[in-house]
Amino acid sequence: MARLSEENVRLAKEVIARYPRARSAMIPLLHLAQEQDGYVTNEAMAHIGDLVGATSAEVYGTASFYEMFKFEPVGKYLINICGTMSCALMGAEDLMHHAEHRLGVKLGGTTDDGLFTLERAECQAACTEAPCLQVNYRYRFRVTAADFDALVDDLKAGNLTDEVPAHGIVARVRQQIPVDRGVGAVPPEDVTEAPTWMAEKAAL
């Protein structure tokens, strides 16, 4: 619960190497930190700053722009119920009330067992499947109260461990880009030629 682990530092260095500027790796590294601890700790932000050559304040400034980064512990399962138009019309409000009762927490709260955090989200781009929710960013469509209860029961029982990993794990399959397969991005200051599309335009 702190700085990045040795294994994650190795991964971090691999990610950093993909970019012409180390700072560009800041967001992937924040995901790595969130995956490690379930949220982004202060120690991890300071560590990321060291790794990419930024101050802790710069890392925090960047990270806090994004709602998906959490700076305090959240439940193992983060449930986001969509509250935007289509879902609202299809009963998102009732679903939220039900969820609050079922979990025994108010919107934004975390259950005492540390398993669930309840949040509202803006449109999740699944409007045809309203009302919808995400649990650790995995979709559930046309959710009824009974579906919600079943979901909670399944998560508690560990029936969904394969499908829904703990909060912070965005993807289980880690991107592997061998150095020779990188795009070979050139630092902006070293770019000497116009981009291809401009060259093509000039040729016309």
Partner 1 sequence: MTTTESTPAVVVDPDAVNLTINGRAVVARKGELIIAAADRNGDYIPRFCYHPRMSSVGMCRQCLVEVEGPRGPMMVVSCMTSVSEGQVVRTETDQVKRAQEGMIELLLANHPLDCPVCDKGGECPLQDQAFSHGPGESRFIEEKRHYEKPIAISDLVLLDRERCILCDRCTRFADEVAGDALIHFTSRGNNTQVQTFPDEPFSSYFSGNTVQICPVGALTARPYRFKARPWDLEKTESTCTTCAVGCRITLESSRDELLRYQGVDSDPVNHGWLCDKGRFNFESLKSDARLTNPLVRDGASLVETSWSSALSTAASLITSALRAGNPSRVAVLGGARGTNEDAHAWAKLVDALGIDSVDAQMGDGLPSAVLTYPQATIDDAAHASTVILLSPDLKEELPILYLRLRDASEKKRSRILEFASKGSGLTRYAWKSVPYLPGNQVAVVASTLSEPAVSAQMAKGSVVVVVGRSNLAESDEYNMAALDAVMAAHPGATVLPVLRRGNVRGALSVGLGRRDAVDILTDAANGEIDCLVLVGADPIADCPDSDLARRAFAAIPSIIAIDTFATASSAKATVLLPAAAFGEKDGTTTNLEGRVTRLARKVTVNGTSRPDWMVALELADILGHDLGAASVADVHADLVSSNPAFGPATRVALATHPDGVVLAAPATGATTSFAPPPAEKPGFAHRLVVGRKLYDNGRNVAESPSLARLAPGSALHMHPLDLERLGAPEGASVRVSGDRTSIVMNVVGDESVQRGTVWAAWAQSGANIGELIDATKWVNDVRVESLR
Q: Report in angstroms how near the CB of residue 200 gets to partner 1 at its nearest.
A: 24
Which of 57, 125, 166, 186 is in the footprint of partner 1 by CB under 8 A? 57
- From the list 65, 100, 66, 67, the residue with the least C-alpha distance to 81 is 100
Interacting residues with ligand FES between 174 and 203 (CB under 6 A): none
Residue 82: name its binding partner from ligand FES, partner 1, none (Cβ under 5 to 8 Å by kind). ligand FES
Based on the shown chain and the rule CB under 8 A, indicate whether residue 2 belongs to the binding site for partner 1. Answer: no
Binding mask 31-70 for ligand FES (x = CB under 6 A): ----------------------------------------
Amino acid at site 76: K
Alpha-carbon span 104 to 126, nearest angstrom = 27
What tokens appear for 53 in the block? 């050559």
Query: Can you name the residues that pair with 116 across neighbouring β-strands?
Result: 77
Interacting residues with partner 1 between 86 and 145 (CB under 8 A): none
Sequential DSSP letters for 123-146: --S-GGG-S-EEETTEEE-S--HH
165: left (phi over 0), alpha (psi -120 to 50) or beta: beta
Based on the shown chain and the rule CB under 8 A, indicate whether residue 1 belongs to the binding site for partner 1. Answer: no
Q: Where are the beta strands (DSSP E) in 8-132?
A: 77-82, 116-121
Which of 84, 100, 105, 137 is in the footprint of ligand FES by CB under 6 A? 84
Q: Which residues bind partner 1 (CB under 8 A)?
A: 42, 45-46, 54-61, 64-67
Binding residues for ligand FES (CB under 6 A):
82, 84-87, 123-127, 130, 132
